Amino acid sequence: MRKLCCKVRISSFETKVAEMAPSGSWHTRRHPRKIKIPMRSIAILGSTGSIGRSTLRVVESYPDRFQVIALAAGSNVETAFEQALRWQPRVLSVASEAHAEALQKRLKARGRTEIEVVHGAAGTVRVSTHPDADFVVSAIVGVAGLEATYEAVKAGKTVGLANKECLVAAGELITGEARKQGKPLLPIDSEHNAVHQCMRGGRMEEVQRIWLTASGGPFLKTPKSEFPSITVQQALNHPTWKMGKRITIDSATLMNKGFEVIEACRLFHVPPSRVEVIVHPQSTIHSMVEFVDGSILAQFSVTDMRLPILYALTYPERIPSDLRFPVMDLRQLDFYPPDMQKFRCLGLAYEAAAAGGAKPVALNAADEVAVAAFLEDQIGFDEIPRIIEDVLSATKTGKMESIKQVLETDLEARRAARERVARLHRGTSPMPRATSVSCPGE
């Protein structure tokens, strides 16, 4: 294959554009204009997790732009203690009262009595609504971060979302409140962050379709007949990414991509019919947006979460970074349609997205229970979608009017999913006809 080479003299190009532009509207790197940039104050929900730690690395790289105001650290007290000493947040939340007492004692011994230590769900809300925080990173895994994220939006904060469950379970409530407050919801997940970037190339009414790329997981070429014999170890062996156990299993079933379909519908206000999943094993292109004229914009970059985090933290600006993609290393890009028969979870997610209301809540809850059961060798890999489908079909369609109702529906769906796991675990397959899962508040 011949290599194409294109050389551009940047200095000449900049000169020509500068001549065409109005005075003061074009600035080259040689003559940057000194602009006083206000400090952005950040609260992080899930500061000890992967996204939280990556966010703190970004903050560390740009000390003149960002400061840490509050942290919610969960049950990892050791890391929370280290973060408290390094970042000196005004408020630090941990999982339990016992964790808070232990942490407070250690901080006092180091002379850090000015840090207020709180705990539990109320403590997390305290972090997310801190009056001095203007940007909240939502990175707590699961519905545990739902209430705090909603309250942050309600308090008028700009929120960077890295928590899938928030938009899957309560996307209509959260996006509705964000519109009411006039504040953006900025996606940190690489796929939706890519979509957000591509959409800056046109108006919303010009968007024809959103394309979400999927790696295909470890079983892209595995026959469906072999799914019953898939082991936990095989399912956790993702070909591209190193992630937590649940998200790795969700990637193997393509449920993770199904959740992203629902997220895209909520974030960008499009129906499921306009969100397409395409398998892209190289995971080079993070997502694409197709416009009504046929133009398609694709976003690709280094696979480093600091880049989408930086994008969200600085939006609508773009600022320099050292995160560079080696374009000359590109060799091959493959794309395939997903096998919806083999990966039933993806189809279930589309159905839940179309139904809305209680269905996505039940989808997420049942999936979490089923995946946990698979990881504990209680059910087979092929039984994950069976449990989810049974719980979904038993869940009544109903609009979610409040976060309380979402959480109640979540608990009810989990209970129903555990019942079905227990039946399968006792060997009562095929599964009995589902009992109805009510929608609290109907």
Element (H, E) at 300: strand 296-300
The pair of three-digit structure tokens given for residue 355, joined into one six-digit string: 């139904």
Q: Residue 37's pLDDT is what?
A: 67
Calculate the dihedral angle through the C-alpha atoms of 248, 252, 253, 256, rounding to the nearest 10 degrees.
40
Q: Which CATH architecture fits 40-183? A: 3-Layer(aba) Sandwich (3.40)
Q: What local confidence, expressed as pLDDT, does residue 329 receive? A: 84
Q: Quote the pLDDT of residue 25.
A: 31
pLDDT of residue 432: 42
The pLDDT assigned to 398 comes to: 86
Contact assessment for residue 183 and residue 160, using Cβ atoms and an 8 Å cutoff: no
pLDDT score of 142: 82
Sequence letter at residue 157? K
pLDDT score at 439: 56
Number of helices (H) and strands (E), helices first, in the chain? Answer: 16, 11
pTM for the whole structure: 0.85
Residue 289 pLDDT: 98
First-residue to last-residue Cα distance in the chain? 64
Domains of the chain, residue spans: 40-183
Q: How far is CA 401 from CA 44, 197, 238, 261, 404, in A?
A: 27, 31, 38, 22, 8
- 138 by DSSP, 3-state: which? strand
CA distances from 93 to 16, 49, 55, 76, 134 (A): 54, 14, 17, 11, 18
Both tokens assigned to 412 = 């009810």
Q: pLDDT tens for the chain, 442 residues: list them.
A: 433 333 333 333 333 333 333 333 333 334 445 555 679 999 999 999 999 999 999 999 999 999 999 999 999 999 999 999 999 999 999 999 999 999 999 999 999 999 999 999 999 999 999 999 999 999 998 888 999 999 999 999 999 999 888 999 999 999 999 999 999 999 999 999 999 999 999 999 999 999 999 999 999 999 999 999 999 999 999 887 677 889 899 999 999 999 999 999 999 999 999 999 999 999 899 999 999 999 999 999 998 999 999 999 999 999 999 999 999 888 899 999 999 999 999 999 999 999 999 999 999 999 999 999 999 999 999 999 999 999 999 999 889 999 999 999 999 999 999 999 999 876 644 444 444 555 555 4
